[in-house]
């Protein structure tokens, strides 16, 4: 993939009542994430041919991995540069081995990994006053810096809208008030599902 992956922080899974993806599609994608990580540990390739037309559609997505409910890695692509199926496979490997906040996942850890997937909607410009905590994820950018937080992050931390905007600025390496000083604010929604959901 040509776009650079983004890392994000997320520590639990939201459980939407319904969504775009069927139970079977969710199972396929979660199984793919685990298989992608395991195949990398075994130094083997896997077939990345999407099994359904829906999973072949280009989508941005993040893979978040945990061990015993503790964050172990989170990497994703904001922009839809490849099929969702391939994106999940690639971001799962990246979350396991390329998130610089953590050492690479080991063979011993692999059976204990929990996976959460966030499938993103397209980015849309948004006014700060229109940001809704729990609904929107944010991408903040200014002067070549950018930072992203998934929709579940402010909910997990109990942030209000202003704190969410400030923390997204921090993630971008910008001053906390950059959102008031001309930084570009873009929003997206995400369908989030993971291991342990009733799917």
Domain ranges of the chain: 6-13+23-121+190-194, 124-188
Q: Are 69 and 195 spatial neighbours (Cβ–Cβ below 8 Å)? A: no
The residues near 8 (Cβ < 8 Å, ≥ 6 apart) are 62, 64, 74, 75, 76, 148, 149, 150, 153, 171
Across the range 165-172, mean pLDDT stands at 97
CATH number for domain 124-188, candidates 3.40.30.10, 3.30.540.10, 1.10.1050.10, 3.30.1490.150: 3.30.1490.150
Task: Give the model confidence (pLDDT) of 22-71 as tens digits.
Answer: 999 999 999 999 999 999 999 998 989 999 999 999 999 999 999 998 99
150 alpha carbon, distance to own chain's centre: 7
Separation between Cα atoms, residue 86 and residue 98, nearest integer Å: 17
Bridge partners of residue 6, in order along the sequence = 76
Return the number of other C-beta atoms located less than 10 Å from residue 74's C-beta.
Answer: 27
Task: Give the model confidence (pLDDT) of 100-117 as tens digits.
Answer: 999 999 999 999 999 999
Whether pLDDT at 17 is above 80: no
Q: Is the pTM of this model over 0.85?
A: no
Q: Which residue has the higher pLDDT, 155 or 196?
A: 155
Whether pLDDT at 190 is above 70: yes
Q: How confident is the model at residue 19 (pLDDT cuts 50, 70, 90)?
A: confident
Whether pLDDT at 5 is above 50: yes
CATH class of 6-13+23-121+190-194: alpha beta
Q: Are 168 and 148 spatial neighbours (Cβ–Cβ below 8 Å)? A: yes
Matching fold, domains 6-13+23-121+190-194 and 124-188:
no
Across the range 78-82, mean pLDDT stands at 89
Identify the pLDDT of residue 47.
87
Across the range 117-141, mean pLDDT stands at 95
Separation between Cα atoms, residue 171 and residue 152, nearest integer Å: 15
Bridge partners of residue 7, in order along the sequence = 75
Across the range 7-28, mean pLDDT stands at 66
Identify the pLDDT of residue 11.
38
């Amino acid at each position: 993939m040509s776009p650079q992956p983004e890392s994000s922080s997320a520590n639990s899974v939201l459980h939407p009542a319904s969504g775009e993806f069927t139970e079977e599609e969710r199972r396929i994608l979660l199984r793919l994430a685990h298989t992608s990580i395991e195949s990398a540990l075994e130094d083997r390739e896997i077939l990345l041919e999407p099994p359904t037309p829906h999973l072949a559609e280009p989508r941005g997505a993040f893979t978040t991995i945990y061990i015993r409910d503790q964050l172990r890695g989170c990497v994703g692509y904001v922009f839809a540069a490849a099929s969702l199926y391939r994106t999940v496979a690639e971001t799962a490997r990246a979350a396991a081995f390329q998130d610089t906040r953590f050492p690479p996942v080991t063979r011993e850890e692999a059976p204990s990994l929990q996976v959460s997937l966030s499938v993103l909607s397209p980015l849309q410009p948004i006014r700060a006053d229109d940001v809704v905590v729990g609904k929107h994820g944010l991408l903040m950018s200014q002067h070549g810096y950018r930072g992203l937080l998934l929709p579940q992050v402010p909910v997990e931390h109990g942030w209000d809208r202003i704190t969410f905007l400030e923390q997204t600025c921090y993630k971008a390496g910008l001053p906390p008030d950059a959102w008031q000083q001309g930084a570009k604010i873009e929003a997206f929604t995400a369908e989030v599902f993971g291991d342990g959901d009733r799917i």
